Structure 1
Amino acid sequence: MCIMWESKGNKTIFRLNGEEALLIVTPEGMTDTFEEKEEGVFLWHRTTEEPVVSMCMEAESLFMPEHTMVPAVSYDGNPWGKDHEYKGLEKDGAAYSYAFHRCAVPGATCSWNEELGAALFGTGSCSGSMQKSAEGHMHHRVLWPEEEGPQVLYSDCWGPAFRGTMEPSSSFTAWICIGEGKGAAKKMLHTAWKQEYAAKKPVRKTEEVWKLSSDYARLLYTEEEDGLRAFSIGFTWNGKEWVKRPDFKYEIGWCGQNASLALSLLYDYQMNGREESLRYGTAVLDSWVEKARSKEGLLLTRYDPEDSLIDACNLGTAGQQFFEAYDQAKRMGLDKKNWLDAAFEICDFAMSRQRLDGGIGMSWNRDGSPHELKGTAGAFLILPLAEAFLRTGEDRYSIAAVRAYSYYYREFANNGYGTSGALDTCCIDKESVIPLLKGGLLMYRATGFDKYLEMAEEAAWYLSTWQWHQTVKYPADTVLGKMGYDTFGGTAVSTSHHHLDPFALCYVPDLLELSERTGREEWKQRALAIWRNGVQGISDGTMQLMQAGPRPAGSCDEGILHTRWGNYKTDGENGSWGSIFSVTQWLVAWPCAFRLEVLRKCGNWNLLDGLF
């Protein structure tokens, strides 16, 4: 790769392999300098003759882009899905602008085709924007002071534009990344990470996290009158006290994570000898196998309501957990073949519904008939299929896993994004591509083919576009300011749900494995940053936020409202979400489950504790 640049008059043109890639026009009264930090990465410094109170640093791509990205906000303008979100890059001819705290990388915008790619991102309290010209070129902009417009996305409506202020300044800095195709976006992610990453110790030690999380798991345990034994999906504030949610109560994976919590309590019994953990863990797994079935005898993924669907995300997760639970029971001297049978039953369910093209589907009615066939989240069923092949060596599982991985990875590679992993949305998201990372590593272990490792790494790069590369400093009078919450390492949910959550905890062990297998230290750093971010905000039993009472020990919020999102109209009234820099007040089960899962899969707790 050969990158050259030259300046003539007030114009600077960057070329990649002889092709014009990027044009920068320096306005009158300003001076631009460029310093190449590494191949294709330039630090762009602009000075003005007189201090100014606003700035736009703009770079025009000199190629026709096939893809665009604003990390964690917009992927090709968000063409997939029907949710309330930013659609396209402009509104009535005015380009959207996105605040630094809304984006995974401050002020970042990217565009590329097969041969050429360019990315721009900023520093400080900036905003990013991009707009296509009449010639079809993309104009990338970093803006100061912070602004958002011409309208701002909230969960319940479009809010008015925001424009901040700044002290006069005569010096501004941005980063330019140029590469072959989407290599420019990877350079942007790598550069932003390299600038901000620092090894730190988490706010809670691993032993404390295990105790608090296992305590919360036992608190979630519930016995229903019909004989079901399960973990509640979480606690919610009813205005007087924290109570277990009265509807949509039990789920085997996704938000409820019943199988994972039960398995972790088996480990807790082995580690600490708590008889209660053994009793709860075995009762819940047995209950899902024996009682949580449809009239047709199919394993359910949500116990209630009665018309709830069977979905691939929950089912794939359950399959893996049942396999591991059987192994753990065997180590403990328990005969739980029914758990192993349940895992293989899930594999058989997937194979019987796999199409000729390799796709399996997203969701099914309780009688097993298809409900939704589209969506990358169908890839979650790759995981038990690959695990079944690793255990049995039977070709039927290998063939099904290979066909499924090929189908879902091809869809991801063609689109450049994943869809429908977050089951409460219909949009582009983070969660749907998680099984392509996990599945790629499983398939590499099963086959030894390097291509699966490469595909797993591509999935990891995509997941990194959802990970925060910055620490946002929140005002001291906001909820997040009072919590001392650090955004660095956290991940956003989807293009329609603009809040951070610790869901990435579920692939911390996979990033650590990817780092070990590829030799790339950055994957290990990203894993540790996810862990540090994900152990914030855990209640010790005395934690109180807003008007609610002390939170149960081991609980934490599902969502961090890191930007202008949440409810604009009600702003926290009547139990609704606050609008900005606040929390959801929803103490869901899955963060607790994923923390325990990381700890039981990562043998080196000193690494997680930051004892380098």
Structure 2
Amino acid sequence: MTFAGLRLEVLDATGTVVAATPIPSGEAVTAVDVGPFQIAAAVKEAGAQRPRDVILDVTTAADDPFSGHLRLVLDLDGTPDPWWLIPGLFYGENRPEACERRFPRFAVGADDPEGMVSDSWSFRADRAATPAVFVWNRDRGVALLTSEESACGPSGVGLSHTGTVASAHVVFPFREAPVTYYGSAEPLPPDAASYTWRRGETVRLHAAVADVGADRHAYAPVLRQVYETNRSVHPVEPWVSVSEAAEIAAEGLVRWHYDPDPGVLLETVGFDREVSGQDGRRVDRQAMHVGWVSGIPWAYALLRHARRSGDAAGKQRAAAERVIDFICSNLSPSGTFWGTWYRSTGWAQSWTPLKGGLHARTLGEATLFLLRALELGADVRAAHPLWTTAARSNLEVISARQRPDGNVGSIHHAADGRMLSWDGASGLTWVAALAEAERLDDDGGYLNAAVKAGEYYAQFVDREFIHGAPEDVDLAPTSEDGYAAVMAYIALHRRTGEDRWLELARRAADWMLTFRYTYNVAFPARSMLGAYGFASRGADQASPSNQHLHAYGLICTMELLELSEASGDPHYRERAEEALACFRQLVAREDGEVNSYRGMVTERYYQTACFQPKGMLLTLSHAWSAGVLLLGCEQILSATSAEGSGQPR
């Protein structure tokens, strides 16, 4: 049995193809000569739906050393308009044409490196959550996979398109072209790792190929198999238990981020308390979002922790309640929450270039967790009637603006409420809030709005392109879109019991997990992450635009547990536990650890060359980073306590 469309290319140090040959693939080893190499190639048989291993034993036959690259290419003909997936890195066209944030984009026939639009891209493999390239046409999909490291250095992955042929490739060692993306709108020059092949030397290179069919969701079983293979050889060893991590994160929120005057969770706090900015003040960001990077979600997590742990001094509960009080007592003229509070100017809009704009995801998330705070007990509801008033005001405003097709909008004006943008899927967070507002839903109107919105946003899940959730990357696809979708459809399933919502939650979870690293990145030994032995399996790429690891996936820990229970599939619970294990690493248990203070939690772990060199750690503690760790811990503790099974591994 053969696998058609495979070929080998030899590239010199400049990236020019100097030799190429097809691989007459099959179970038997085939000898091919290409450029300076003699290669014994074999494509192994595999079971149903399993990728087939490609083994390349590469011997250098030339007398002179050769500095260059070997590229394995998989062609898919009959593909005038391809759909791509490089997990965590590239989704379809990757950047919608209308997206204001600039990062690599695919377009048929494009050649605009400075604008980062091209029909050909090549990347270092550690930018991908799984080093794999999937491509589909209308009738078929194929995939080419490898690992981050190879016998000749770090690997690369990429894609190209010419005429009706779409090509996935892996390259040893990596090349980045036509430009290098480093997190800014201005690209850097192409980059490449180097390797010198010497006469008589033989190296073994590994890849895998798969025929995945026409369904774009067919990546899911392939990536699940990679995860299952890697989990035993890429261990994650948490520093602290779940309960200890919760205690430390709660302490950090109050100690470093809480300011009682006026009652805010400051968004960022510097690790180094001696560093000051140009104004002589500390580098701490004197601002608070109502949701997302600060605000109600993390105050809720703190309040939940305080009620479970006892909080003998009452400081944690008082801090959490004061933050929520402050936000609920300052609604915008439109009737919803504001976006952001600044110490110097007070309440203001979201991070959007649209003047006066308030972002749906941020406000929806704040409302969702306000509703959850109200469900902590009758005593909470009795003590804080303003919370109920604020929640109802937000829900009424959003449901009243909903379009007949179900779209609840992405950005509305703080003063007059008119919708400034309907684009993207950021309204998904409102689906969860509307569905969870059962106590306030006297006539079923909120549920009806949630169902209509759930139906509208299902098209993004079905298309395998969910985008628009974070305020700071415009219409880019992000891991946060996946979290919002999982939370939305689990909330609808919880409220209605309908299987349709459960299936959408499963599909959304699979898409979300494409951002989750299935392997431990090889960090430089003397880098911060290398020296501490940070294991990246379980961490998520933030987005193709923000290529760093983050912990925001812990926000839907509870939903992944529910999905596992409802579907009878333990995989989703395992992935929730895996993420929580990952981010119980690098938790500062005492002042001085990780060059920080007890309770400080970073936002960014740099697993590739983007924003900072690989292996570095952002030396800022973020309110949401401590908050989401606390939330994930509390949700796991609650679930395991209910089951009587103790703490997860």
Pairwise mapping of residues 93-492 of structure 1 onto structure 2 (< 5 A)?
Answer: 95-106=120-131, 108-123=132-147, 124=149, 125-134=154-163, 136-156=164-184, 157-166=186-195, 168-181=201-214, 182-198=216-232, 200-219=236-255, 220-224=257-261, 228-236=262-270, 240-241=274-275, 249-272=287-310, 273-290=312-329, 292-295=330-333, 298-304=336-342, 305=345, 306-309=347-350, 310-330=358-378, 334-367=382-415, 368-389=417-438, 392=441, 394-414=443-463, 416-426=464-474, 427-492=476-541
Do residues 60 (structure 1) and 75 (structure 2) align? yes
The residue matched to 1:473 in structure 2 has which SS? coil
Q: CA deviation at 1:503?
A: 0.9
How many angstroms apart in 2 are the aligned matches of 1:151 and 1:478?
Answer: 25
The 1:408–1:561 alpha-carbon spacing in structure 2 relative to 1, beyond 3 Å, is same
Indicate how the Cα distance of structure 1 residues 250 and 185 shifts in structure 2: closer, same or farther if over 3 A, else same.
same
Structure 1 residue 295: Cα displacement? 4.7
Q: Distance in 2 between matches of 1:197 and 1:175?
A: 18
CA root-mean-square deviation: 3.1
CA distance in 1, matches of 2:648, 2:327: 39
Q: Secondary structure at the match of 2:204?
A: strand
Q: Give the one of 597, 600, 604 matched to 1:555.
A: 600
Code of the aligned partner of 1:38: G
The equivalent of 1:84 in structure 2 is 102
**Alpha-carbon distance in 2 for matches of 1:158, 1:102:** 16
CA distance, structure 2, for counterparts of residue 477 and residue 237 of structure 1: 20
Alignment CA distance shift 1:491-1:169 (3 Å): farther
Aligned mates of 1:358, 1:218 — CA distance in 2: 39
Paired positions, count: 579
1:584: Cα distance to partner? 2.2
SS of the residue corresponding to residue 174 of structure 1 reads strand
Distance, in Å, in 2 between the alignment partners of 1:388 and 1:556 is 31
Name the SS of the counterpart of 1:562 in structure 2: coil
User: Residues 308 and 11 of structure 1: is their aligned pair in 2 closer, same or farther, counting only changes over 3 Å?
Assistant: same
Residue segments in structure 1 that go unaligned for 5+ positions in a row = 15-23, 567-577
Contact 1:420 1:432 in 2 (8 A): yes
Matches of 1:348 and 1:286 in 2, distance apart? 20
Decide whether the 8 Å contact of 1:73 with 1:495 is kept in 2.
Answer: yes
Show the counterpart of 2:546: 497
Query: 1:590 offset after TM fit, Å?
Result: 0.5
SS at match of 1:526: helix
Query: 1:557 deviation in Å?
Result: 1.3
Q: Contact 1:359–1:407 (CA<8 Å) still a contact in 2?
A: yes
**What TM-score does the superposition give when structure 1 sets the normalisation length?**
0.86
Q: Which residue of 2 aligns with 1:575?
A: none
Query: Structure 1's 521 and 25: CA in aligned 2 closer, same or farther, altered over 3 A?
Result: farther
- CA change 1:114–1:150 in 2 (3 A) is closer
Take 1:246 and 1:201, find their aligned partners in 2: how far apart are those partners? Answer: 31
Relative to structure 1, the CA distance from residue 94 to residue 187 in structure 2 (aligned partners, 3 Å threshold; closer, same or farther) is same
Question: 1:391, CA displacement in angstroms?
Answer: 6.4
Equivalence map 1:460-609=2 (5 Å): 460-543=509-592, 550-566=595-611, 578-602=612-636, 603-604=638-639
Is the contact made by 2:73 and 2:167 (CA closer than 8 Å) also made in structure 1?
A: yes
Q: Which runs of 5+ in 2 are unaligned?
A: 7-20, 351-357
Q: Which moved more, 1:262-271 or 1:307-316?
A: 262-271
The question of whether the paired residues in 1 share the 8 Å contact of 2:75 and 2:167 is answered with: yes
Taking a change above 3 Å as real, the CA distance of residues 391 and 454 of structure 1, as seen in their structure-2 partners, is farther
- Tell me if the contact between 2:290 and 2:337 (Cα under 8 Å) persists in the aligned partners: no
Question: 1:152: how far off?
Answer: 1.0
- Determine if contact 2:264/2:326 at 8 Å carries over to the other structure: yes
Question: Percentage identity across aligned positions?
Answer: 17
* Cα distance, 1:221 vs structure 2: 1.7
Q: Deviations over 1:520-546 (max 9, x none)?
A: 23222221221122222222343366x
Quick one: distance in 2 between partners of 1:10 and 1:101? 27
Single out whichever of 254-263 and 583-592 deviates more from structure 2: 254-263
* 1:350 shift after superposition: 1.0
1:369-391 CA-to-partner distances (Å, cap 9, x unmatched) read 32332121121111111112476
Aligned amino acid, residue 256 of structure 1:
S
Give 3-state SS (helix, strand or coil) of 1:582's partner: coil
Counterpart of 1:21 in structure 2 is none
Are the aligned partners of 1:492 and 1:498 in contact in 2 as well (CA < 8 Å)?
yes
Is 1:38 equivalent to 2:47 in the alignment? yes
Instruction: Tell me the TM-score normalised to structure 2 length.
Output: 0.82
Partner Cα separation in structure 2 for residue 332 and residue 389 of structure 1: 17
